[in-house]
Amino acid sequence: MTLIKRIQVILLAVFLATLLTSCGGAKEAIEQAEQEAPIKEEASAASEEAEVIEKEEVVEAEEESESQVGISIEPGEPPAPERILVDSTSSSSAFEKRAVLGDNFQKNLYERPFSSQEMVYQPDLDIQTVDFAHDDDFFYFTIRLFGLDTVNGKLNGTYAVEFDRTLTGRGDLVVSVENPGEKWSVENVRVFGDGNTDVGGPRPTLADKDGAGDGHDLLVEMKATNAAFARIDPQDPEAVQFAVSRALLDDPDKFLWGAWADNGLKNVGMFDYNDTMGISAAGSPNRGRYYPIKDLEKLDNTCRLPYGFEQTGTYFKGMCINTPPVIPQRPTPVVVIPEEEL
C-alpha cells in the first residue's frame, strides 16, 4: 500500500469515528430532552395555575372595590359590647320538634327555626344572643346563632337588624345581608326603608288581619358616609356582624333595635308578617291547636332593646320587657329581753 493510500484510510477512519461520536451525542441529547420535557411541562402548568389564581384574586379585589365605590367610610373592630340581648332558643327542644318559649304571633315575636310541617330544626336560624356596641362612626351588632347548617356547614339565612327610630313600634329601617364574607364589605348588604310609614299596619307589632301594607318598600342607596357593612365574626364562624354608620341612621340620639334570621319568606316588603296572614295559615311551633308550623317557617327574631335611654319606666311597643329580680324582704328583727332584766 502506497503512502497516499494509507493516508486516505487513516482519514476515512477518523471521519467514521467522528461521525459515530456525533451520533452518540445526539442520542444522549435526545434522551436528556425527553427526560426534561415532563419537568418543563409541570413547571409551565404550575406557572399557568399561579397566573390564574393571581387573576382571580385581582378580579375579586376589583369586584369588592367596585361594590364599595362612592363609600368614604370603613369600620374597624367592634368595641366591647355595651349590651347583650339574650333570645329564646329552641336547641334544647329541637329533638321534640317544638319551641318552648319566645313565639308570640300576635305580637310579631317569632321563635321558628324549623321547617314547615316536618319541623326540622335549623341551627343557623336560631338566634342565641346579639351584642351591641358603638364608636364615633358606627353602631355594631353581632348576631350569634346556635350553629351552622347541618347540610352545607354555612349560615344560609338572611340576617338583619331592624330599627325603630320613632319609638312607635313601627320599624322604619332594615339592614340585611345574605352570604356574608370574612371581611367587612357592603357586598350583599341591602338597606330598606318605609317610604309610606305603613310597616306594622294600623297597630304596629300587633296582628292586624288584612292590615298589611307594602312593608319596607324603599331600597336605600349607600354612598359617602351613609353605609352598612357585614361580615362573619373572625372569632366565631356562627356569628354575623353588622357595622351600621351613624350617618345612615341620621345620627340618632335614641332608637330601638332588634335582630332577624330568616330563610323562609325573606321579604321585608311583607313586614310585619303577622299582618299578612292569620295564625291558622302561619302555624305554630308550640304544641296545640295551630301546631305545626305552616306558611311562616324558618324564622327567628328578637324583641327590641333601646339605645339612648333606659329600659325602665315607659314601655314602647316591641321593646324587651326588663323584669327586675324580686328581692325578698328581710323580716323585722324581734328583740327579746330576758325576764330577769325586767
- Whole-number pLDDT of residue 212: 76
CB neighbours of 18 closer than 8 A, spacing ≥ 6?
none
Higher pLDDT, 342 or 118: 118
Tens of pLDDT, residues 166-189: 999 999 999 999 999 999 999 999
Q: Shortest CA distance to 93 belongs to which of 84, 101, 85, 105?
A: 101
Tens of pLDDT, residues 208-228: 977 778 999 999 999 999 999
pLDDT of 280 strictly over 90: yes
Segment 141-149 mean pLDDT: 98
Task: Identify the band that residue 314 occupies on the pLDDT scale cut at 50, 70 and 90.
Answer: confident
Segment 87-93 mean pLDDT: 96
CB neighbours of 106 closer than 8 A, spacing ≥ 6?
206, 207, 274, 279
Q: Which residues pair with 300 in a beta bridge?
A: 111, 261
**Cβ atoms < 10 Å from Cβ of 71:** 17
Half-sphere exposure of 197 (CA within 13 A, CB side): 5
φ, ψ for residue 143 (rounded to 5)?
Answer: -90, 115
Q: What is the mean pLDDT of the chain?
A: 84
